Amino acid sequence: MKIIIDNGHGDDTPGKRSPAWTDQDQLFEWEFNRDITEQMNIILKAENYDPEILVPETNDPPIRERVERANEIHRADDAIMISIHGNAAPNDDTRPNGIETFHYSQGGKIFANTVHEEVVTALGWKDRGVRKAYQRIKNKNNKKITIYKIAILKFTSMLTILTENGFYTNPEECKKMMNADVRSSIAMATVLGLKRYLFNQNL
């Protein structure tokens, strides 16, 4: 089975960065994401899995292109995908912190829970839970409609989850996210969760 690792965002993505803290250190989300995905790629290859980084270039292709790339890989070979991210609070609110993981389908919920448990256990950070990337609401005609969020989950044809590994808008957590050992722990825990899911599903 092909394991697609989506390294969410590139060096030209606007706004995906922490504030410049008092020591002028700053975390760009693309650096954080790509360090983790590259480490996951190395670990998985060493253990004879078949990973592929979705965006090997440094720029950020449009979401439609990323979705089509993933679906093309899946058409050629059965695949599963993890999209790796760091989180940000609206208006650079410094209070939110912790780990959350998103899914789109019921199968994705099982996958998300397995990976989420490993990352939360490895880091010991606040558990913000596993969440649906959609919500069902009633419109003005009192009919139930579904509002979909997170395009990489909605439009990809394979089982996909999206991880948010800490808030770079939280100064204390951002400093941890900038630590190479922390990023290695996230990579290893994510791979462990992925392997546990595949084993439990006999994949």
Count Cβ neighbours within 10 Å for each residue of 70-108 and write b for 16 or more, e otherwise. beebbeeeebbbbbbbbbbeeeeeeebbbbbbbbbbeeb
Count CA within 13 A, CB hemisphere, residue 93: 7
Looking at residue 75, its pLDDT comes to 92
CATH number of the domain at 23, please.
3.40.630.40
- The total of structural domains in the chain comes to 1
Mean pLDDT of 127-144: 77
Query: Range of 12's domain?
Result: 2-200
Residue with more model confidence, 202 or 176: 176
Q: Is the pTM of this model over 0.85?
A: yes
Of the candidates 195, 202, 162, which has an alpha carbon nearest to the alpha carbon of residue 44? 195
Looking at residue 25, its pLDDT comes to 79
In angstroms, the CA 106 to CA 58 distance is: 33
Q: What is the pLDDT of residues 11-60, one digit of tens each?
A: 666 667 777 766 667 888 889 999 999 999 999 999 999 999 999 998 88
Looking at residue 5, its pLDDT comes to 98
Of the candidates 12, 3, 136, 15, which has an alpha carbon nearest to the alpha carbon of residue 86? 15
In angstroms, the CA 11 to CA 102 distance is: 24
Mean pLDDT of 126-149: 76
Ramachandran quadrant class, 166 (left: phi over 0; alpha: psi -120 to 50; beta: rest): left
How much of the chain is helix, strand and coil, in % rounded to 5? 40, 25, 35
Token reading at 81:
């995908």
The answer to whether residue 139 scores a pLDDT higher than 90 is no
Confidence category of residue 10, pLDDT binned at 50, 70, 90? low
